[in-house]
Amino acid sequence: MTTTRAVRVGLMATVLALCASIASAEVMTWTVDGDKREAIVFVPAAPAGSVPLIFSFHGHGDDMENFQYVGLQQAWPDAVVVYFQGLPSRDGLRGWQVQPGEYNDRDLKLVDVALASLRKKYNVDANRIYATGFSNGGHFTYLLWAARPNVFAAYAPVAGRMRPAAVPRDPRPLFHVAGARDAQVAFADQKSAIEAAVRINGVAGPTTSCGAGCSVYGSGSAAPVMTWIHQGGHEYPPGTSARIASFFHDHPRTAPADGPRPAR
């Protein structure tokens, strides 16, 4: 796992913009296997009907207080956005499991408990539940695709990679953001994850451009793979949250929802 606080974006202009556009936020807590788990939850100002739900996971060594400033709640103000807090990893820094069984599946269990709780509290649209994360949180996002394919409608790892023990089996829409000069999560590893996603989704072939550095495999398919390869390093570039929100917005669930599936 890599240590990162590269997503620190505590600029006053960003904070002011967020405060102006978000009606409410609260810290929610759950007890999972005896551990106190937390998340900052942003709620739409005036929800109308069922609401989308986005689960967001910070990088290794970061925290929910900082990561909330990536601004997913501003990019999609009609969604409930949840910034989870990781628990200490083996090196003492906060992070997430990246393969099945690691840390006694503490983070997969957190997702299950939190989702059940949020569904009781809010009118969550079961066809619009999404997962995204940066770095170690991106690795966990790939694990969620493998372990919870019938919970989330789409996934958006940023600077993430796929572990051999957590390879998904079910095609799902994926948006991967990678830095061509990433020195912490090697670009070659991220490229391998993208190639695996293309195979799983069955969308190999010519791509469609979606802007500078942005490509779509399987445009128009039920499970496309979109990639944005920027020229930076291990970072969460400006505009990332807007791109993620747009991708999620365009990809509600098309398969019936059911329970968790063990990762292969």
Counting beta carbons within 10 angstroms of the beta carbon of residue 47, is it exposed (0 to 12), middle (13 to 18) or buried (19 or more)? middle
3-state DSSP assignment of residue 107: helix
Whose structure tokens read 């390879």? 167
Q: What's the pLDDT score for residue 20?
A: 43
CATH topology of domain 12-249: Rossmann fold (3.40.50)
Q: What's the pLDDT score for residue 195?
A: 98
Query: In sequence order, what E strands does 33-123 have?
Result: 35-43, 51-57, 80-84, 87-88, 94-95
pLDDT of residue 18 exceeding 70, the answer is no
Give residue-wise pLDDT tens across range 206-229. Answer: 999 999 999 999 999 999 999 999
**CA gap 73, 66 in Å, rounded:** 14
Whose structure tokens read 């393969």? 99
Residue type, 94: R
**Which is more confident, 95 or 257?**
95
Q: Determine the average pLDDT of the residues in 239-255.
A: 94
Counted residue by residue, the chain has a size of 264
Sorting pLDDT into bands at 50, 70 and 90, what band is 40?
very high
pLDDT of residue 12 exceeding 70, the answer is no
Give residue-wise pLDDT tens across range 54-74. Answer: 999 999 999 999 999 999 999
Give residue-wise pLDDT tens across range 84-139. Answer: 999 999 999 999 999 999 999 999 999 999 999 999 999 999 999 999 999 999 99
Sorting pLDDT into bands at 50, 70 and 90, what band is 258?
very low
**CA gap 242, 182 in Å, rounded:** 21
What are the structural domain ranges in the chain? Answer: 12-249
Task: Look at residues 79, 63, 84 and name the one whose alpha carbon lies nearest to residue 10.
Answer: 63
**What Rg, from alpha-carbon coordinates, does the chain have?**
17
**Helix, strand, coil percentages for the chain (3-state, nearest 5):** 30, 25, 45
pLDDT of residue 7 exceeding 70, the answer is no
Query: CB neighbours (10 Å) of residue 212?
Result: 9
26-35, 41-50, 72-81, 106-115: the lowest-pLDDT one: 41-50
Give residue-wise pLDDT tens across range 160-188. Answer: 999 999 999 999 999 999 999 999 999 99
Secondary element (H or E) of residue 128: strand 124-134
**CA gap 3, 258 in Å, rounded:** 35
Q: What's the pLDDT score for residue 5?
A: 52
Question: Nearest 5°: phi and psi at 257?
Answer: -85, 145
**CA gap 105, 97 in Å, rounded:** 7
Q: What is the DSSP string of 193-246?
A: HHHHHHHHHT--S-EEE-STTEEEESTTSSS-EEEEEESSSSS--TTHHHHHHH
Token couple for 87: 């628990």
**CA gap 112, 3 in Å, rounded:** 26
Counting residues of the chain whose pLDDT is more than 70, the rounded percentage is 88
3-state DSSP assignment of residue 54: strand
Report the mean per-residue pLDDT for the chain: 91
Whose structure tokens read 């968790």? 260
